[in-house]
Amino acid sequence: MTMTLPYHRVNVLTGTKAARIIEDASEYAHLVKRAQRPLLVLGSWSLTTTLGGKLLIEYGVEIAKTLDIPICATAHTKKKLLELGVEPASSYDIIEILNHLKDPAWKGVKKEGNHDLVMFLGFRTDLGEQGLSTLKHYAPHLKTMTLCKFYYPHASYSLSNFRKDEQWKEFLDNLITNLKSKEA
């Protein structure tokens, strides 16, 4: 079996437990729909990455709106979200939200209980690698899912490395469509 290497080599797995790669948007959507308390965490690259003429953060907003998924706005993403008419459920910075997530007794951003699925979009891969390592080791009570175009071995579910942005855009569009669909 050939080992999947992350796009950025700083994100290479040195270990035994790697993410499940999923390329089918409907499968991702199914996992999200199945979650009781999903959370979407947005990072600073969502402000600087464009995809199909839109900022990545706008995809994040669309994903969140489909199932009323709460958003944690890290870095300085909150300002842009407000401009887009979205009030994030929290604005912890990335490490602070991770620090909460690893506690199974934490009440979550909506005070309804800790989240069981945490989606990440728009993070530097080096920080993503570190943060996902934390959750892999210390948060067995939840699953992590990455939405960026790179493979993240420390996640529970990750996309593969998309060579072209068009593939990534197509995936995110399909994910949004599937999330909107009433089918489970």
Site for another protein in 5-64 (CB under 8 A): 7-10, 13-17, 43-44
Q: Is 87 exposed, middle or buried (0-12, 13-18, 19+ CB in 10 A)?
A: exposed
Total number of residues that touch another protein (CB under 8 A): 43
- The footprint of another protein on residues 122-151 (CB under 8 A) is 123-127, 130-131, 133-134, 136-138, 140
CA distance 118 to 103: 14
Select the residue interacting with another protein from 83, 164, 183, 184 (CB under 8 A): 83
Name which of 26 and 99 has its Cβ closer to another protein: 99
Q: Which of 90, 114, 156, 158 binds another protein (CB under 8 A)?
A: 90
Which of 164, 182 has the CB closer to another protein?
Answer: 164
Q: Report phi then psi at 51, rounded to 5.
A: -145, 115
CB neighbour list of residue 173: distance below 8 Å, 6 or more residues apart? none
28 exposed, middle or buried (CB, 10 Å; 0-12, 13-18, 19+)?
Answer: buried
Query: What number of residues does the chain have?
Result: 184
User: For the purposes of burial, counting CB atoms within 10 Å of the CB of 66, is it exposed (0-12), middle (13-18) or buried (19 or more)?
Assistant: middle
Residue 129 beta carbon to another protein: minimum distance, rounded to whole angstroms: 8
Query: What's at 20, amino acid-wise?
Result: R
1: exposed, middle or buried (C-beta count within 10 Å: 0-12, 13-18, 19+)?
exposed
> Closer CB to another protein, residue 24 or residue 87?
87
Residue whose CB is less far from another protein, 106 or 174: 106
Is the Cβ–Cβ distance between 79 and 55 less than 8 Å?
no
Choose between 28 and 157: whose C-beta lies nearer to another protein.
Answer: 157
Q: How far is the CB of 61 from another protein (least distance, A)?
A: 15
Binds another protein by CB under 8 A, chosen from 20, 34, 79, 110: 79
Binding residues for another protein (CB under 8 A): 7-10, 13-17, 43-44, 73-76, 78-79, 82-83, 90-91, 93-96, 98-100, 103, 106, 123-127, 130-131, 133-134, 136-138, 140
